[in-house]
Copies of this chain bind each other. A is one copy, B any other.
């Protein structure tokens, strides 16, 4: 346990002033003789000197840290997003403070408070939907806020990066309709989430285009986490006229749904066609391999980091950047033509 050397120690040991040391630390900041530079560098080396970030940040606001506020990192989708965001950020010399909300807006508020205190330059978040005043304040403070995956409709001034949920919901549903299904169920996130809302809108559009009747009973909003997805599945199965096809619009819910189907002895795709929003490697290893909507996580991450670092602080209100990347419908074997024979 040794005491950390400061810039002053280095200066003294090298026989120069702190200003000189600072200049060799930040190259562009001023002239320094080549000989002095190497000498100072040597001293830093031998002393094991490392400039202290906290002290640096004190001078100018630090565009050196990004907040990443996710619902839940144990969800593979968010985990991979985090992985990519971290890599993108590091490539630009930016560090990432990771926080989770567990979909709890109270926790979210707490996290945002510490993010404010840290004066992070940008925040990439999957917002719970509440805490709107805080988000506004953050922006007013000059923080670059980017919503990823979902957004808050009543906060149009915030940048958003997500897939085209409407189109994804539409095309998934259309695929099922094209296979002859007339009773198509959809399990989606909470009604407050734009993700769920847009996917359901796309779903409705597809039904209409296919001339199918819309039945509100077939539309289930379930919490993102926990067993809610499974409960929704059970409810659908217990309908007097149950669906023959399912769009499961959330990663965390898929496993629950599949468990229920399996327990109920409902075969995929024989008795039930399934499409899921998910892209884990294991979807391909299932029996049968699952037809999925693949989200381009790399793109989501790249755009998010880019926006969060854009320093668009002083822009006119109303012109938020909205980036919608298209998701890919990957057809495998969990969707089959409807068996007309009962």
Contacts and interface: CB of A to CB of B under 8 A. Distances in A.
A118 B79 contact: no
A27 interface: no
B262 A285 contact: yes
B73 A116 contact: no
A214 interface: no
Interface string A103-123: 000010001011011110000
A109 to B, nearest CB: 13
Interface residues of A, number: 58
Contact of A98 (B86, B113, B259): B86
A62 interface: yes
A116 B50 contact: yes
A191 interface: no
A287 interface: yes
Q: Within the oligomer, what is the number of copies of this chain?
A: 2
A182 to B, nearest CB: 28
Interface in A226-280: 255, 258-259, 262, 280
B2 A140 contact: yes
Interface of A: 1-2, 4, 48, 50-55, 57-58, 62, 68, 72-74, 76, 79-80, 82-84, 86-87, 90, 95-100, 102, 107, 111, 113-114, 116-119, 137, 140-142, 255, 258-259, 262, 280-282, 284-287, 313-314
Contact of A118 (B53, B80, B284, B287): B53
